[in-house]
Structure formats: C-alpha cells, structure tokens
C-alpha cells in the first residue's frame, strides 16, 4: 500500500473555503505551479516564505510517493510598476536606474534568487520557464481569447473583456470579489480616459512606446505581454489544460490569479486549477511588514543581523525553522525573542538528530510495551499532522515529543533493548526523514562549510553591489563586521575571497 493511501492529504480549498481530500488528476503524478519572482530586485522575505511553503508541499508529496512536476516561473518582462496596466516595466525601470541592459538586471537578480534558495535549502523546481522565453505562446493565447469573444484591441493593446466573461462565468470566484458591485462604474467614470471598455478589464497585450526597451512583434503591433498572461501560458504548457495545485502569496489572489482563471477559461474553456494554495503575510512585532514602514527584512539582513530591528544575525536553518513554526495560511510575526526561541528549538531538534543518527538497534530485552506504543503513535502522528493541510507547526511539535524519546535512550533513562528492533528502526528513519527530507532542516554543525560558503558568497555579492553603487559606508560595515568575527575579505581584480583567521 502506498503512503498516500495510508495518509491521504487534506488541503484547504480557496474556492470553497473548506478542506478536501487531495486527489490528483493522474495519481501518483502531481502538477504543481507556483508564481515565481519578478527579477528586478533582491528576493525579499515574503518571497522566501512563499517558496518555502511550496518546497514543503513538494517534499512531502514526493515522500508519500507522488511523482511531482514542480513548475516555478521567472517574470522577466511585463510586470508594470503599479500592477494596473499603466506605467513602466519594473525591470526596465531598474535597468535605467542602474544604467545597464534589462537582461543584465534579469540575470543579476535571477542569480541572487537562486543563491538565496540554495542558502535556505530550497529545492530547485522541475522546470523554471521565463516570460521572455514564451512570447509566441502568449501571442497565441491572446489570439484565442479574441477569437472566443473575450478580448478586444484598442490602439495596439488587447484587453480582456470582464463584462463579456461575466455573462457566462464568475469573475471573482477565487477572491470573493463581486463584479456586480462594480457594474455601476462606466467608461465615463474612468480616470484619464482609459482605453478600456470597463475599468475591471485588464491588459493581456500592451502596446509598446518608442522608449520601451523590451518589445516584440505581434498581430496588433509592437508590444509586450500582460503580466497575468505568462502564468496562464506556462502553467498549462507544462502541466496541461487542467492541473492539480497552483500556489503563491495571498497578495496574488486578486488580481493576478483571478485573471489567470479568466484567461484560461477565455482561451480554452477549462477552469485550470483544482486546488489553490495561498501563503499568508509577514508581520513584525504585530505590524504588517513593508518597506515604507522600514520594517521589511531581506534574507541576507536576517543572516548578517544587518537591520535596525535585529539584535544579531541568525543562521539560515534557524530562519527556515522559524518560518515553519507557522502554518502557511497563518501570519508569521518576526521579533528578536521569537527568532531566539526558534534558534533554541532548532538546536534541540538537531541535537536529537545527531544522537539518533549514531544509534543502532539492539536485540530486545525486557520489553516496554507502553513505550513501543507511544513511539509508533508519534510516528503515525507526524503523517497525520502533515497530511492535515501541510500543518508544519503541529508536525514540529510531534518531532519535539519524539526527540524526548530519543534523548531518553541517549541518557539511558530507557535502555534501547526495551523496544523492538522494528520500532527502533521506524523511530530512527521517521525522525531523520521528517527533519531532513520533509522539512528540509539541515544540521548546520555537520554541514557548516558548505553553508558558510553559500552565506559568504551572498555577503560578498552584497558588498560588491554596494561598492558599485559607491555606498562605501555599507561596504566598509560588511567588511568590518566580518572581521570582528574572524573572517577577512581579500579584494582582488577577480573579486573578493574570504579567509577565516
């Protein structure tokens, strides 16, 4: 019997506001699509939490025996500054600011995004497609939408006709928005004389101006695809017209994911996604995390402790463990006390991981039936909690209980001979598997050199960027803080290298 039969997963259905038994279209194969970053800046903590959520989903489903194809895109064109079909492309704006080519911006921040994933032990996706790599497919989908009567062209731009779509389908079913509440607003009410027939219409192809750096030929003239379009195209290209799970942050539910649904139905008549999963927001000391409030963290700032709200830095696995202490649909509140508590918890579990890894089963002596029963129940409970909408905090709580049992064997409170070989082997395998494979928590004491290399590379790149921008204060601060803990940076013509004193 497969593990997914023994421990069927229940997931929260964003459409119906209820949990449903997860049943893939073609078990044991699962299609998972997650909206990736717009690579115009460094990956922020909200990105990290979202991608960590689906790293866990992928890991657990694969552990249960599913064959998961995980597709996570890179947005390298089409995402406008105000997300509302107006303004400059985010990547082009950054390119003008740094005075380099847009594709240099894309490469630079894609590399940085991959570096962050590596530092925090996130698995790379099965496929990582880019928007610029699928321009022809996006043009084809726009044409299908027009042919089906759900799109119209104005001055070289093509818009999705929400009112026409609403005649047959429910635009707003994912987010709970009601188009009926918007119908009182007509074109006459639109600020700036918009080209749209109805202000809820959204661009699926946008005409390019003379100053646009990235643009392509289309049947409607030179232009760029709308931001929402790329995910409709790439998800269905690699996962089919209907697939199992689509994930992203809560902020993408409207308009991004709502528009994806409309586009897919408008082009092919199929509601594309069976299960929508959205991760919740981050807060700091109970206040929403945002750049404007000065309380937003970058992953490297958490590691280096280089933020005014931090007492000190924390290791990547401590941060990963901290984020997993909240269920993906709950908010995560950052504070120094919470991070310190997570550090203690992570060290306690990794200590048990080291202990159990070195233990070997012994022939049973005087059996303790109650202890055997408790250990097997805890092993079962790990699966029960993870199968309950990927409930990582409750899973971690069970791991602490199992760690107590491991510690009781290590300090000879109970002899290993008091449980059977089969029970011991299950305890050892299950604890190690959930720690390292399912939750992806590495023992940094055992894996320190590789992790240090990854973290140092991120700090070296951060310092190089500061120097390129003539931010000498930040460059010197990074060097001096590293020197204070015994790490010397040696600058050369080919870049910087670090040396431990």
pLDDT recorded at residue 452? 66
Distance between CA atoms of residues 116 and 95, nearest Å:
22
In total, how many domains does the chain have? 3
Domain check: are 360 and 222 in the same one? no
Q: Are residues 427 and 493 in the same domain?
A: no
Question: Is the same domain home to 80 and 193?
Answer: yes
Verify that 49 and 130 share a domain, yes or no.
yes
Rg (alpha carbons) of the chain, rounded to whole number: 25
Cα–chain center distance at 396? 20
Find the CATH number of the domain harbouring 422. Answer: 1.20.120.640
Could you give the angle at the alpha carbon of 341 between the alpha carbons of 42 and 118, nearest 5°?
Answer: 30
Segment holding 114, helix H or strand E: helix 102-119
- DSSP characters over 277-303: EEE--EEETTEE--TTTT----HHHHH
Task: Kindly tell me the sign of the dihedral angle through the C-alpha atoms of 44, 277, 124, 106.
Answer: negative
User: Are 348 and 263 in a shared domain?
Assistant: no
**Which CATH number belongs to the domain containing residue 250 in this structure?**
3.40.50.620
Whether residues 149 and 176 fall in one domain: yes
Same domain, 372 and 357: yes
Per-residue pLDDT of the chain (501 residues; tens, 9 = 90+): 899 999 999 999 888 788 999 999 988 999 999 999 999 999 888 889 999 999 999 999 999 999 999 999 999 999 987 766 777 899 999 999 999 999 999 999 999 999 999 999 999 999 999 999 999 999 999 999 999 999 999 999 999 999 999 999 999 999 998 876 655 444 444 444 478 999 899 999 999 998 899 999 999 999 999 999 999 999 999 999 999 999 999 999 999 999 999 999 999 999 999 999 999 988 888 887 776 677 778 999 999 998 888 999 999 999 999 999 999 999 999 889 999 999 999 999 999 999 999 999 988 778 899 999 999 999 999 999 999 999 999 999 999 999 999 999 999 899 999 999 999 999 999 999 999 999 999 998 765 555 666 777 778 888 888 888 888 888 888 888 888 777 888 787 667 877 665
Residue 305 backbone zone (phi > 0: left; psi -120 to 50: alpha; other: beta): left
Q: Which token pair is 467? A: 């120097």
**129 and 240 together in one domain:** yes
Domain of 165?
A: 3-279
Residue 348 shares a structural domain with residue 318: yes
User: To 10 degrees, the CA torsion angle through 82, 250, 102, 44?
Assistant: 110
Any domain includes 41 = yes
* Residue 443, in any domain of the structure: no
Looking at the structure, do residues 27 and 131 belong to the same domain, yes or no?
A: yes
Domain boundary among 279, 311, 328: 279
Pick from 384, 407, 438: which residue ends a domain?
A: 438
Q: Say what the pLDDT of residue 296 is.
A: 79
SS3 of residue 140 by DSSP: helix
CB atoms < 10 A from the CB of 375, how many?
23
What tokens appear for 282 in the block? 């981050």
Would residue 308 count as lying in a domain?
Answer: yes
* Residue 486 within any structural domain of the chain: yes
- What's the CA gap between 120 and 342, in Å, rounded? 15
pLDDT at 291: 63
Q: Report strand pairing: 282-284 vs 157-160.
A: unpaired
Task: Please check whether residue 230 is in contact with residue 202, taking contact to mean a CB–CB distance below 8 angstroms.
Answer: no
How far is C-alpha 301 from the geometric centre of its chain's CA atoms?
Answer: 18
Tell me how far apart the alpha carbons of residues 58 and 391 are, in angstroms, rounded to a whole number: 14
Cis peptide before 28 (omega within 30 of 0): yes
Same domain, 167 and 263: yes
Q: Which of 279, 314, 341 is the last residue of a domain?
A: 279
Domain shared by 173 and 153, yes or no: yes
The predicted pLDDT at position 186 comes to: 43
Torsion, Cα of 35, 37, 38, 43 (10° steps): 160
Backbone angles phi, psi at 478, to 5 degrees: -60, -50
Q: What is the pTM of this model?
A: 0.87
Q: What are phi and psi of 71, to 5 degrees?
A: -110, 125
């Amino acid at each position: 019997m497969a593990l997914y039969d023994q421990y069927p997963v229940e997931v929260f259905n964003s459409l119906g506001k209820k949990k449903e038994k997860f049943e893939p279209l073609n078990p044991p194969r699962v299609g998972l699509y997650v909206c990736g970053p717009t690579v115009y800046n460094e990956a922020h903590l909200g990105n990290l939490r979202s991608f960590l959520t689906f790293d866990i989903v992928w890991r657990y489903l694969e552990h249960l025996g599913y064959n998961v194809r995980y597709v996570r895109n890179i947005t390298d064109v089409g995402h406008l500054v105000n997300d509302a079909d107006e303004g400059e492309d985010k990547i082009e704006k950054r390119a003008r600011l740094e005075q380099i080519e847009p594709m240099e911006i894309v490469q630079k921040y894609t590399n940085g995004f991959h570096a962050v994933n590596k530092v925090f032990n996130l698995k790379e996706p099965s496929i990582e497609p880019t928007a610029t790599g699928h321009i022809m497919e996006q043009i084809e989908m726009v044409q299908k939408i027009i042919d089906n009567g759900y799109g119209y062209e104005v001055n070289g731009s093509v818009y999705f006709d929400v009112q026409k779509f609403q005649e047959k389908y429910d635009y707003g079913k994912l987010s709970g928005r009601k188009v009926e509440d918007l119908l009182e607003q007509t074109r006459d009410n639109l600020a700036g004389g918009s080209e749209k027939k109805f202000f809820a219409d959204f661009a699926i192809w946008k005409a390019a101006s003379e100053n646009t750096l990235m643009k392509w030929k289309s049947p409607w003239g030179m232009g760029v695809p709308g931001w929402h379009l790329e995910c409709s195209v790439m998800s269905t290209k690699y996962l089919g017209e209907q697939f199992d799970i689509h994930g992203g942050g809560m902020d993408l539910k409207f308009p991004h994911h709502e528009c994806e649904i409309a586009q897919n139905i408008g082009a092919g008549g199929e509601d594309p996604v069976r299960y929508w999963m959205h991760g919740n927001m981050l807060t700091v000391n109970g206040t929403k995390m945002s750049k404007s409030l000065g309380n937003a963290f970058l992953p490297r700032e958490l590691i280096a402790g280089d933020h005014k709200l931090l007492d000190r830095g924390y290791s990547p696995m401590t941060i990963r463990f901290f984020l997993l202490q909240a269920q993906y649909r709950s908010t995560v509140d950052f504070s120094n006390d919470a991070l310190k508590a997570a550090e203690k918890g992570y060290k306690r579990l990794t200590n048990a991981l080291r202990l159990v890894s070195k233990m070997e089963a012994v022939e049973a002596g005087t059996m303790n039936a109650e202890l055997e029963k408790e250990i097997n129940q805890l092993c079962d409970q790990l699966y029960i909690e993870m199968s309950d909408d990927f409930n990582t905090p409750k899973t971690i709580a069970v791991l602490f209980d199992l760690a107590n049992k491991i510690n009781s064997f290590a300090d000879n409170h109970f002899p290993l001979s008091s449980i059977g070989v089969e029970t011991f082997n299950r305890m050892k395998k299950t604890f190690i598997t959930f720690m390292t494979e399912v939750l992806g928590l590495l023992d940094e004491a055992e894996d320190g050199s590789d992790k240090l290399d990854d973290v140092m590379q991120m700090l070296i790149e951060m310092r190089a960027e500061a120097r390129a921008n003539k931010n000498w204060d930040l460059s010197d601060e990074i060097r001096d803080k590293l020197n204070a803990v015994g790490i010397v940076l040696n600058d050369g013509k080919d870049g910087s290298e670090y040396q431990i004193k």
